[in-house]
């Protein structure tokens, strides 16, 4: 992320100017992804309405996002459970000492 700039993109045949602090290449990649998703919807539906294609595309992208979030949450829960299990095993192997610092004698 950096300084805000105007980036021109083309989505579904329309040119848009987007104000962003992201790199231009990234914004172009986002536009390409949206175009690909819109093309998928257009091939699967008989709709010629740009608005209908845009709404169906937005729904498909939102569905993909929510599914990925669910996968991420499940993965993080699994990592957390395995980390706790591993920590307990290490603690047991160390004789229950744990990770406490020994008291300083002086």
- Taking only the tens place, the pLDDT of each residue in 2-42 is 689 999 999 999 999 999 999 999 999 999 999 999 999 99
Separation between Cα atoms, residue 18 and residue 26, nearest integer Å: 12
Cα–Cα distance between 82 and 76 in angstroms, integer?
10
Q: Which of 56, 29, 24, 28 is nearest to 40 (CA)?
A: 56
pTM for the model stands at 0.72
Statement: residue 89 has pLDDT above 70: yes
Look at residue 40 and give its three-state secondary structure: helix
């Amino acid at each position: 992320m950096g300084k805000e700039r105007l980036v021109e993109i083309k989505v579904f045949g329309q040119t848009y100017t987007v104000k962003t602090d992201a790199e231009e290449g990234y914004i172009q990649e986002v536009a390409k992804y949206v175009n690909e998703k819109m093309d998928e919807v257009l091939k699967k539906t008989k709709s010629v309405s740009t608005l209908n294609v845009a709404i169906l595309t937005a729904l498909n992208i939102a569905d993909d996002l929510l599914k990925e979030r669910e996968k991420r949450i499940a993965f993080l829960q699994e990592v957390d459970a395995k980390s706790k299990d591993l920590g307990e095993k290490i603690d047991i192997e160390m004789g229950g000492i744990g990770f406490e610092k020994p008291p300083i004698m002086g």
